[in-house]
Amino acid sequence: MQPKIMMKKKSISASKASLVLFLCQMISALDVPLDLSQPPTITQQSPKDYIVDPRENIVIQCEAKGKPPPSFSWTRNGTHFDIDKDAQVTMKPNSGTLVINIMNGGKAEAYEGVYQCTARNERGAAISNNIVIRPSRSPLWTKEKLEPNQVREGDSLVLHCRPPVGLPPPIIFWMDNAFQRLPQSERVSQGLNGDLYFSNVQPEDTREDYICYARFNHTQTIQQKQPISVKVFSTRPVTERQPVLLTPTGSTSTKVELRGNVLLLECIAAGLPTPVIRWIKEGGELPANRTFFENFKKTLKIIDVSEADSGNYKCIARNTLGSAHHVISVTVKAAPYWITAPRNLVLSPGEDGTLICRANGNPKPSISWLANGVPIAIAPEDPSRKVDGDTIIFSHVQERSSAVYQCNASNEYGYLLANAFVNVLAEPPRILTPANKLYQVIADSPALLDCAYFGSPKPEIEWFKGVKGSILRGSEYIFHDNGSLEIPVAQKDSTGTYTCVARNKLGKTQNEVQLEIKDPTVIIKQPEYKVIQRYGQVSFECVIKHDSTLLPTVIWLKDNDELPDDERFLVGKDNLTIMNVTDKDDGTYTCIVNTTLDSVSASAVLTVVARPNPPFDLELTGQLERSVELSWIPGDENNSPITNFVIEYEDGLHEPGVWHFQTEVPGTQTTVQLKLSPYVNYSFRVIAVNEIGRSQPSEPSEQYLTKSSNPDENPSNVQGIGSEPDNLVITWESLKGFQSNGPGLQYKVSWRQKDVDDEWTSVIVANVSKYIVSGTPTFVPYEIKVQALNDLGYAPEPSEVIGHSGEDLPMVAPGNVQVHVINSTLAKVHWDPVPLKTVRGHLQGYKVYYWKVQSLSRRSRRHVEKKILTFRGNKTFGMLPGLEPYSTYKLNVRVANGKGEGPASPDKVFRTPEGVPSSPSFLKITNPTLDSLTLEWGSPTHPNGVLTSYILKFQPINNTHELGPMVEIRIPANESSLILKNLNYSTRYKFYFNAQTSVGSGNQITEEAVTIMDEGKMAMASRQVDIATQGWFIGLMCAVALLILILLIVCFIRRNKGGKYPVKEKEDAHADPEIQPMKEDDGTFGEYSDAEDHKPLKKGSRTPSDRTVKKEDSDDSLVDYGEGVNGQFNEDGSFIGQYSGKKEKEPAEGNESSEAPSPVNAMNSFV
């Protein structure tokens, strides 16, 4: 769907408005100011053909202006009408308008006639058109006896209206007794003369209330004809007929129409089938944009006809049996029309001038002149006047030459009458435009500055810009004859004061006007095309930019009309929001921004989409035994094209109320051929689908019951499986109701033993899905078939399937069971297969039962848990994974079928060899001293053999997370603790501990521990080193250094000034007891120690009572080594998580001893 965005702009100061203003000013420039002498001018008069309501007063208008004010007189039917002698007639004061009083006893018919008004003053006389007064008439229908119309089906018929002749002619229409218009179509329609034409009658045309009505608009009355009765009788067969024209009759006719009128041509034809009308113009084309077809193409309408539309027009009526035609010769005549109408002429004494009166028509009109209402031939002589056909020439006029001249152009179809005066005046220039008038114009639009003037002789006009500006000339300005100055494209610099100067030989005058240029109004963010689902919310934006001196107003329209009066429409400053959108909100929304100078607008289309409406008028046609055609009419697609239709059916016979999918067709299709099954009572419904969703289902179609038939298909999924060793259970999926194809659905079940020369055994069962055959041998194959049948016969021959009678337990156990131990956790078992005959069923496979009898490394017995491994199919070996090392196992093997397991083979005993042990159950490090640690451990949970020893490995860890040399100790298997001596004090060690069997080493566990520190100087040294690496300490030292530097500068300045700063004395007098001299032995500064430096160490110096190392009890925890080489210490992860979060590194300590009395102490040199 393509977006639809429309934008239009209109400006009051644009070219159209300028042209209108220009034309108005040209006309006003010809007007003589009313304070000057001038002949009369007719300003208002009644129409030439004036039809009046006979019940109301007759008002005949005649208004005129002139100086001095004119007097009025009337003629009636060419003679003077003395209104003073008729009490029913009055003339309005200061006016020539007549009022004929009909409502107080006057009769309109008495005042029928031709009236003409004359307005006269000392300078001349003007006359009105001939005004023909006729009262309207709405006569009653004449009484007539109407016989009923007896018509044969298929014949044509014309019901005549023949309305009474009224003035003006009435409007005709046909209705019934209930005042409902009778429906019309290509077959039945009303002619231009009001008659009702039937191209062919049908039985439904029978009725007794065909009534013709005539409405007389002028009197607001409606006349009714007597009802006409029509009775259609049928004869079979109905005879078809080729077209015959009912109107117009014959093969040709003529038509005359006047120029500018509407040409109406009509052709109505009889025939069966109903004829179709087509129009052509011989030797030409029907005029585009002016041609319309009405009354089901029976009427050709051409508006605003001209002489070029004359010619032969042919109507052709055609049906399947033939055609008929009629040619109408059209001649376009013309009442007189102006080419150049005479215009008022203002001359100064001694000037020359002309009055021109040119008109055309068909036939060509004659031109006649009158002077002051009198034919010019008998009018008083004027030496300055000369008549030359359609022109009067004036030379050297004088004041007495002032008069009103009338030009009459007439032919047989009408006349034109125009008044034009010649006014001889001597007047200096005057400017009629108000002084200092302000013009405001939008930039880049035309500016038209008015300078309405009058003078005789005609003044010359000049324009200047500014107070002392030069005369305006050049192509950027346009100077109009009425004095206006046009600036075609006004710019900002066009702003200013403009002066208009008018001069003739009698004088000079001037006037100033002001011009301001404003910025245009612009919609900078226009509304955009929107597609919205029903009940959603949508918003259109309209953001504007405008001149700061102009006040804009914003109006929203829907489809060029006001917004609905609905609270769902919310108009904001820059937007329009529609809440809870409905289908009726669909349309074009326009934002119009108006200022006093311009107007801009922008439009956008809102498309409301929704799920389609359901289809309707479902119809079944072409009913056959196995098919039917379904057709339907789609519902409204709700602005989202229908993509497909879903057809569903209901089986009212077998599953009433349940709808099933039948088929699906494209959205462009409205009929479908449906395949049907016998013995089904079908109803259909249709669902339309578009991008939004599915419609509601249509109303169901009529029901259609198909005939019964024998079944087309047999049951599916036929199986034969015994439930007992001596039976055969035959099962199948029953046919669904509509698959039965008829009443009395049953099944014929047949079976026989395979590979045995047996006859089929058959049985007929009711509509069930199972049959049990008893007394069968155990597990033998059977051929099986199930055939459907109903009251009309059998389904086609079914296919055979193979089934088996019931299974029994296997008879023998597998033999020659052998076990081959592959390693301490895996063994392979072999066996010989059993004979298939002894299986007595479907071989499922072999099952190996195995269980541990005893662990050779422990004396205690556990509960025996048997494990089962199943090996599918006819396999003769299998692997037993997950065995425990150094254990005694037993196993047996059994064969399995669908019934169960056979007897077990004799138990087979086997042993698994030793394996590596599991890790020791725990490792604890207790009793830390300055140079020793005590280790305790538990034996492995799973020795997996005979333990031979324990292996202990350990190594020191320094403060930079580096690991020292590894030391390994082998410990006898019967030990459970060990004291390590000669270790370095205040040193962290990492221990690795595992057990061994003859096969190898098991998994190790790890632990860490720290020997304690000296509680004196070692604690202080460690503390000082710790503090020295802290960020806050470094910052503090920098601050102290800066303070000392400032003090030194102050001292230096004071000393240079001769002053004395007794620093030494003050220090001696106020010595801080906490300040200590520098200790040479440990290199620390006493002044940075605190009370905690002299307390016993609480963290990392002692082992807690539970004899395990915890994070909260040691600052020297493993956190400090988390980023080291061995980031994760134990292979089993025992320390991960216990030591986490601390990232600071301690500075490396100096060597506390140079001796290495033991292998352990030898590590000191690394630490």
Confidence of residue 1118 (pLDDT cuts 50, 70, 90): very low
Q: To which H or E segment does residue 1038 belong?
A: helix 1031-1056
The stretch 733-755 carries a mean pLDDT of: 90
What's the pLDDT score for residue 596?
A: 93
d(CA 806, CA 802): 13
Confidence of residue 865 (pLDDT cuts 50, 70, 90): confident
The stretch 114-141 carries a mean pLDDT of: 94
pLDDT for 1088 beyond 50: no
Q: 1049-1074: buried (b, 16+ CB within 10 Å) or exposed (e) per residue?
A: eeeeeeeeeeeeeeeeeeeeeeeeee
The stretch 282-286 carries a mean pLDDT of: 93
What's the pLDDT score for residue 174?
A: 96
pLDDT digits (tens, 9 = 90+) for 188-200: 999 999 999 999 9
For residue 66, CA distances in Å to 60, 71, 767, 1075 come to 20, 10, 113, 127
Q: Percent of the chain at pLDDT above 70?
A: 86
pLDDT for 756 beyond 90: no
Q: To which H or E segment does residue 775 belong?
A: none
Angle, vertex CA 520, rays to CA 514 and CA 522, nearest 5: 165
Count the Cβ atoms, other than its own, within 10 Å of residue 79. Answer: 7
d(CA 437, CA 434): 6
Task: Output 409 or 855, whichever has higher pLDDT.
Answer: 409
Q: What are phi and psi for residue 31, nearest 5 degrees?
A: -75, 135
pLDDT for 431 beyond 60: yes
What's the pLDDT score for residue 816?
A: 94
Helix, coil or strand: residue 1167: coil
Which of 281-285, 611-615, 1054-1058 shows the lowest mean pLDDT across its residues? 1054-1058
pLDDT for 1099 beyond 60: no
**What's the distance, CA 292 to chain centroid?**
38
For residue 88, CA distances in Å to 104, 137, 575, 602, 959 come to 8, 22, 64, 59, 136
d(CA 949, CA 974): 8
What's the pLDDT score for residue 1014?
A: 61
The stretch 765-770 carries a mean pLDDT of: 90
pLDDT digits (tens, 9 = 90+) for 894-922: 999 989 999 999 999 999 999 999 999 99
What's the pLDDT score for residue 521?
A: 95
pLDDT digits (tens, 9 = 90+) for 11-39: 333 334 444 444 444 433 357 898 899 99
Helix, coil or strand: residue 1039: helix
What's the pLDDT score for residue 1015?
A: 58
Report the helix count and the strand count for the chain, using DSSP H and E.
5, 86
Confidence of residue 993 (pLDDT cuts 50, 70, 90): very high
Which residues lie below 8 Å from residue 85, measured CB to CB, with a gap of 6+?
none
Q: Ramachandran region of residue 1137, left (φ > 0), alpha (ψ -120 to 50) or beta?
A: left
Q: Find out whether 198 and 185 touch, Cβ atoms under 8 Å.
A: no
Nearest in space to 913 (alpha carbons), one of 874, 884, 879, 949: 884
pLDDT digits (tens, 9 = 90+) for 866-884: 899 999 989 999 999 999 9
pLDDT for 1036 beyond 90: no
Statement: the pTM of the whole predicted model exceeds 0.85: no
Dihedral (C-alpha) 717, 722, 727, 733: value to the nearest 10 degrees?
A: -20
Task: Output 1090 or 39, whichever has higher pLDDT.
Answer: 39
Which of 241-250, 766-775, 1133-1142 shows the lowest mean pLDDT across its residues? 1133-1142
Confidence of residue 220 (pLDDT cuts 50, 70, 90): confident
Task: Output 27 or 764, whichever has higher pLDDT.
Answer: 764
Residue with tokens 């190594």: 955
pLDDT digits (tens, 9 = 90+) for 130-163: 999 999 988 888 888 888 899 999 999 999 999 9
Helix, coil or strand: residue 700: coil
What's the pLDDT score for residue 218?
A: 82
Q: Find out whether 909 and 890 touch, Cβ atoms under 8 Å.
A: yes
The stretch 230-235 carries a mean pLDDT of: 91
Q: What are phi and psi for residue 1038, nearest 5 degrees?
A: -65, -40
What's the pLDDT score for residue 563?
A: 94
pLDDT for 849 beyond 90: yes
548: tokens are 């700061």
The stretch 243-247 carries a mean pLDDT of: 95
What's the pLDDT score for residue 963?
A: 84
1043: tokens are 């303070």
Q: Are strands 967-972 and 947-957 parallel, antiparallel or unpaired?
A: antiparallel
Name all contacts of 665-668 with Cβ < 8 Å and 24+ positions apart: 667/634, 667/641, 667/642, 667/643
Confidence of residue 103 (pLDDT cuts 50, 70, 90): confident
What's the pLDDT score for residue 860?
A: 54
d(CA 924, CA 935): 6
d(CA 292, CA 300): 6
Q: What are phi and psi for residue 1091, nearest 5 degrees?
A: -60, -30
Which of 256-260, 578-582, 1044-1048 shows the lowest mean pLDDT across its residues? 1044-1048
The string of DSSP codes covering 556-567 is EEETTEEPPS-T
What's the pLDDT score for residue 2?
A: 38
What's the pLDDT score for residue 757?
A: 83
Nearest in space to 339 (alpha carbons), one of 255, 407, 254, 394: 407
Count the Cβ atoms, other than its own, within 10 Å of residue 444. Answer: 16
What's the pLDDT score for residue 834?
A: 93
Q: Percent of the chain at pLDDT above 90?
A: 71
> Taking all residues of the chain, what is their mean pLDDT, rounded to a whole number?
85
What's the pLDDT score for residue 416?
A: 96
d(CA 401, CA 272): 76
Confidence of residue 111 (pLDDT cuts 50, 70, 90): very high
What's the pLDDT score for residue 501?
A: 95
Residue with tokens 């925890």: 1117
For residue 270, CA distances in Å to 58, 294, 319, 1100 come to 48, 18, 10, 123
What's the pLDDT score for residue 296?
A: 95
727: tokens are 């039976």
Count the Cβ atoms, other than its own, within 10 Å of residue 245. Answer: 20
pLDDT digits (tens, 9 = 90+) for 339-368: 999 999 999 999 999 999 999 999 999 999
**What's the distance, CA 395 to chain centroid?**
77
The stretch 4-13 carries a mean pLDDT of: 39
For residue 978, CA distances in Å to 815, 934, 992, 1022, 1133 come to 56, 6, 14, 30, 23
What's the pLDDT score for residue 1027?
A: 54
What's the pLDDT score for residue 1094?
A: 37
pLDDT for 1085 beyond 90: no
Q: Are strands 414-424 and 345-347 parallel, antiparallel or unpaired?
A: parallel
Task: Output 1073 or 112, whichever has higher pLDDT.
Answer: 112
Task: Output 369 or 1037, whichever has higher pLDDT.
Answer: 369
What's the pLDDT score for residue 30?
A: 54
Nearest in space to 701 (alpha carbons), one of 610, 614, 612: 614
Judge if the upstream peptide bond of residue 69 is cis by omega within 30 degrees of 0.
Answer: no
What's the pLDDT score for residue 467?
A: 72
pLDDT for 465 beyond 80: yes
The string of DSSP codes covering 352-398 is -EEEE-EEEEESPPEEEEEETTEETTTSPP-TTEEEETTEEEE-S--
d(CA 409, CA 387): 15
Which residues lie below 8 Å from residue 899, measured CB to CB, with a gap of 6+?
725, 806, 807, 808, 809, 840, 841
The stretch 1022-1035 carries a mean pLDDT of: 59
